[in-house]
Structure 1
Amino acid sequence: MKSVTVGWFEIPVQDMDRAIQFYEAVFECKLNKQVMGDLQMAWFPWDESQGGAGGSLVYHKDFYHSSREAGPLVYFSCEDCAVELEKVKKAGGEVMIPKRQITPEIGFMGVFFDSEGNRIALHSNL
């Protein structure tokens, strides 16, 4: 059977600057904002040699809409998801599911709503 992996993700936003501020605060990273006509993107830092998928925040008034209850759920990997969850409220988001264990073998997860109303998840082994 052929293996299928995620190659890229996009998180829709309604206010790009507010969303950049939120994600930079939660993940302590710098996003690279690009404006391409009526499309705006802010790319997360990504090192292809480290594995995983790259992605961005994306804004277009007609083609992208935030979703609090529906749609795919993106999981960000981190060392200890409790650290990022602790920053969510101060950054303008809301914790939906506090850190909890999935199984001892799989690790832990948590889910939050970002500043734009998207459901976003975290995974860690600690």
Structure 2
Amino acid sequence: MKKVTVGWFEIPVSDMDRAINFYQKVFDCTLHKLDMGDFQMAMFPGEGGGKGAEGSLVFNKEFYATSNHAGALIYFSSEDVVIELSRVEDAGGTIQIEKKMISPEYGYMGVFLDSEGNRIALHSMS
């Protein structure tokens, strides 16, 4: 059976600078902002080489809208979801689901709303 994996993701935002600030605080990282006229992107740091999908924040009034608490759910990998969840509210987001066990073999998850109203999830094995 063919394996299907995510190769790239984009998180729609309505205020790029606010969203960059939010994600940099929650994930303790630096995003690289690109201004392409009517498109703006902010790239998450990635490891390449097939370890997880890489992606960006993206803004364009005509082609992207935030999820407003619905739609697809992106899971970011974490060492322990408590780490990022502990930063969400100070960064301007809202925790929807605190750290919760999925099962012993699948680990833990947590869900938050980002500064733009998108639902984002976290996953860790511990």
> What TM-score bracket applies, with the shorter chain setting the length?
over 0.9
Q: Residue 116 of structure 2 aligns with which residue? A: 116
Instruction: Give TM-score scaled by structure 2 length.
Output: 0.97
Q: Which runs of 4+ in 1 moved over 2 A?
A: none
Output the CA distance in 1 between the equivalents of 2:30 and 2:50. 18
Aligned-partner Cα distance in 2 for 1:90–1:69: 20
> Cα deviations across residues 25-69 of structure 1 (Å, max 9, x unaligned)?
000000000011100000000011360100000000111100123
Partner of 1:22: 22
**1:24 aligns to what SS in structure 2?**
helix
Say how many residue pairs are matched. Answer: 126
Alignment of 1:60-79 (within 5 A): 60-79=60-79
One-letter amino acid of the structure 1 residue matched with residue 107 of structure 2: G
Identity of aligned residues (%): 62
1:42 maps to amino acid: A
- 3-state DSSP of counterpart to 1:76: strand
- Is this contact kept in 1: 2:12–2:64, CA < 8 A? yes
Give distance in 1, aligned partners of 2:86 and 2:97. Answer: 12
Question: What value does the CA root-mean-square deviation take over the aligned residues?
Answer: 0.8
CA deviations over 1:71-103 (Å, ceiling 9, x no partner):
110000010001100100000000001100000
Q: TM-score normalized by structure 1?
A: 0.97
Please give the residue correspondences for 1:57-96 in structure 2 after superposition, counting only pairs within 5 Å: 57-96=57-96
**One-letter identity of the residue aligned with 1:97:** I
Gaps of 5+ in 1: none
Give unmatched runs, 5+ long, in structure 2: none
